[in-house]
Amino acid sequence: MPKGFQRERVAGRIRRELSEILLGFNDAELPSVYITRVELGPAYDYAKVFLAPATPTKKLDEAVLVEPLRRVAPALRGQLARRLRLRHTPELDFRLDAGKQNADRIDELLARIAKRSKPLAVLALLFGVAVPSAAAEAKKLERYEASASVMGSTLRLALYGPNKSHLASAAIAAFDEARRIDKLISDYRPDSEWSRINERAASEPVEASEETIELLTACREYSRLSEGAFDVTIGALVDTWGFFKGSGELPSPAEVRRAREAVGYEMLEIDASGRRVRFLRRGMRIDPGGIGKGYAVDRVVALVKEYGAVAALVSAGESSIYALGAPPDEPDGWLVSVRDPIDSGKSAVELRLRDESLSTSGSYEKFFVLEGKTYSHILDPRTGRPAEGVSAVSVRAASTLDSEAWTTALFVNGVEWTRKHKPANVRAYVCADGGACSWIGGE
């Protein structure tokens, strides 16, 4: 059986068995949840268990939904071990599935509109997108929506074009393309090209695809322009802080120092003509976390255009969005909202996008709290520690690769650096710690 199918089969079995265990678990303090999916680590040593509330709610509260399950995780793992009888039962890492919650919210909103509108007048609603008037029917544009779990998040499409069957084909091709990219760059897949590079490049030059060479070259340029705030070689630090496993833990100063010594874009040697990659430091690892979704979104947008989509909203896990054209009767573009970094139930700002991208990085995405201090997953490669002073950054740019890379770079460099050194071709909405937000470089 191929490794990918084996992994999916084990993950599916863990999901089923764990769901049954939760139903019969004798603890009145456990919340009512359901498991949306399970993702296994490369060595099957841990399992990310994504949860959603059994009853739809407007606000996800990690303290209510996740913390009680983390408390009893050892007991749940023990019961799981007795059922599965694997050589090694993975550690359980419970996490909120914000993508599933938002998808449920969108689907519910679409259903309500459908009840009071003609079906053809119900147009895509993602991230607060406005619903056009019934005059869209006169434009004879078809609408097609689809979503799929890929790259550890939900890829959602809202497409408009003259031929619905072509749009359906575009969606299938788009998901295949995203999965191809995941197989290329994922550090959770031991058989990916980037994992192969990570395994061997400190010992010898490793042959790489032209696509990887171009992507790593772009990453190195982002590093140079951001003065090292963005660094694709940050993998060792991400692993040391535990965010590679999805949770996070406080490492010792010595561990941080050792990991920091394995980070540095200057030590990433790229031979473009010979298509080879080499690391000049042992322990170095390239990490796609700061560019992977953005790159995939750009590729998907280019692909759906080839299938005849004249307008589209493509989003990957809500952190990276590209708006192609504009929906019918909305010539100014797609209406998109940026969440408030403090209150997830509110919008900090709304804006219209047309033929441009929006990416957001926030300290609320992945973090852990220890002795009252919050440690975010957004690390400063130069210090080896979580960046401080900023709670969220959203960047508008011509490409999603640009917007995603610069959200990380501007988050790490902070407000003042952004005011002085932000590239002219991007606009940033920066929220400092405490919640004060403002545009830098115009809305």
Per-domain residue ranges of the chain: 3-96, 193-286, 345-443
Q: Give the pLDDT confidence score for residue 105 in this predicted structure.
A: 46
How many other C-beta atoms lie within 10 A of the C-beta of residue 418? 21
Q: Give the pLDDT confidence score for residue 44 in this predicted structure.
A: 80
Listed in sequence order, the residues at least 6 apart from 327 whose beta carbon sits closer than 8 Å to its beta carbon are 123, 124, 129, 130, 132, 136, 158, 160, 311, 313, 334
**CA 27 remoteness from chain centre:** 33
CA-closest candidate to residue 65, choices 39, 38, 37, 96: 96
Q: Give the pLDDT confidence score for residue 57 in this predicted structure.
A: 58
* Ranges of residues in the chain whose predicted pLDDT is under 70: 1-6, 8, 26, 28, 54-60, 98-139, 243-248, 344, 363-375, 443
CA-closest candidate to residue 91, choices 240, 255, 247, 249: 247
Q: Name the amino acid, one letter, at 439.
A: W
237's tokens: 């630090």
Rounded Cα distance, 165 and 143, in Å: 10
How many other C-beta atoms lie within 10 A of the C-beta of residue 23? 8
Q: Give the pLDDT confidence score for residue 2 in this predicted structure.
A: 35
Q: Give the pLDDT confidence score for residue 368 in this predicted structure.
A: 60
CATH of 3-96, one of 3.20.20.70, 3.30.300.20, 3.40.190.10, 3.40.50.720: 3.30.300.20
- Angle among Cα 376, 289, 438 to the nearest 5 degrees reads 55
Chain segment 69-82, per-residue pLDDT in tens: 898 888 888 888 88
**What average pLDDT does the structure give for the chain?**
83
CATH code of the region 345-443: 3.10.520.10
Q: Give the pLDDT confidence score for residue 120 in this predicted structure.
A: 37
Rounded Cα distance, 41 and 392, in Å: 28
pTM for the model: 0.68
Rounded Cα distance, 92 and 76, in Å: 8
Q: Give the pLDDT confidence score for residue 110 in this predicted structure.
A: 42
135 secondary structure, DSSP code: G
Q: Give the pLDDT confidence score for residue 133 in this predicted structure.
A: 46
Rounded Cα distance, 245 and 48, in Å: 8
First to last CA, the chain: 52
CA-closest candidate to residue 431, choices 340, 320, 337, 317: 340
The CATH topology of domain 193-286 is T-fold (1.10.3980)
Q: Give the pLDDT confidence score for residue 378 in this predicted structure.
A: 86
Fold agreement between 3-96 and 193-286: no
CA-closest candidate to residue 94, choices 13, 42, 10, 38: 38
- The helix (run of H) or strand (run of E) holding residue 362 is strand 356-362
**Which of left, alpha, beta for 308 (phi over 0: left; psi -120 to 50: alpha)?**
left
Q: What residue spans of 186-243 are helical by DSSP H?
A: 193-200, 210-225, 235-240
Residues 37, 97: contact at Cβ < 8 Å? yes
Q: Give the pLDDT confidence score for residue 4 in this predicted structure.
A: 44
Residue 405 φ/ψ, nearest 5 degrees = -60, -40
Rounded Cα distance, 244 and 258, in Å: 17
Burial class (CB in 10 A: 0-12, 13-18, 19+), 343: exposed
Q: Give the pLDDT confidence score for residue 127 in this predicted structure.
A: 42
Q: Give the pLDDT confidence score for residue 151 in this predicted structure.
A: 86
Residue 341 φ/ψ, nearest 5 degrees = -70, -20
